[in-house]
Amino acid sequence: MIRAKGVTDTGRVRKVNEDRFVSDLALRLFAVADGMGGHQAGEVASELAIEAITSFIKLSVSDEDLTWPYGIDPTLSFDGNRLRTAICLANRRVFRAAETSDDYAGMGTTLVGVLVDGAQLAIGSVGDSRIYLLTRGTLEQLTVDDSWAATILAQDPTLKPEEIAQHPMRNVLTNVLGARDSVNVHVTERTLNSGDTLLLCSDGLHGVLSPATLTDILGRADDFDGIPQTLVDLALTQGTRDNLTALVVRYEADR
């Protein structure tokens, strides 16, 4: 059994919410997009990305004559390839829309998404929105940030995040949907344990809440539906200056 609940909030600084998410139990699809760009183009980019990924996942449920415009990765499952293709198609949708209008030029969006099939999980990401997994009391970050800061930290293991926390390039993204005709999509897979909880979130949330705080709140068993709102409310009190989204998914094995 899968349970899911999502909350998105404009926040206390921005006038427009450029975050979008999909939570579709029938499709087993859960995704969060965080748009960027002037003239409210970020709002357009994230909306187009969510529409595109949802459309392909829906189409690929039963279409036996489905074409795979980006090929098949033999190392991935069927769902892994579906998710990878859906995100690539979302990139093409946003990129082409950006070419049609000066107002949309330069727009883009991050995207993280999962497909759940029983205990099997396919994970896809582009940008710096994140997916966390709380499994047996331990919090894991399942995605890697496509950002300047993450690249620098990976290149120099002796550096600590706080050493570059004030660098002017710390928030620069190195990979987003819509910036180029092709995109590097990170796709991984794993098996879930009963009781595992996933958090898909934009940086407006994970940028201000510590791993310890996430672990504590995600581990609450008595009020699952209240977890996303609790996370969002806490991030607001911690002073986040961005739009923020929390989408929580919990897997329970059938008995």
Q: Per-residue pLDDT tens for 128-152?
A: 999 999 999 999 999 999 876 666 6
List, in order of start, the domains of the chain with CATH numbers.
Answer: 2-143+176-251 (3.60.40.10)
Strands of the sheet containing 108-117, edge to edge, are: 19-24, 29-36, 108-117, 120-126, 186-191
CA distances to 19, 55, 107, 117, 132 from 225, rounded to whole Å, are: 20, 26, 33, 21, 17
**pLDDT number for residue 167:** 59
Q: What's the mean pLDDT when you consider all of the chain?
A: 91
pLDDT at 156 over 80: no
**pLDDT number for residue 106:** 87
pLDDT at 160 over 80: no
pLDDT band at residue 242 using 50, 70 and 90 as cut-offs = very high
pLDDT at 63 over 80: no
Q: Lowest mean pLDDT: which of 163-172, 186-195, 223-232?
A: 163-172
Which tokens in the block code for residue 73?
């990765």
pLDDT at 54 over 70: yes
Q: What is the pTM of this model?
A: 0.93
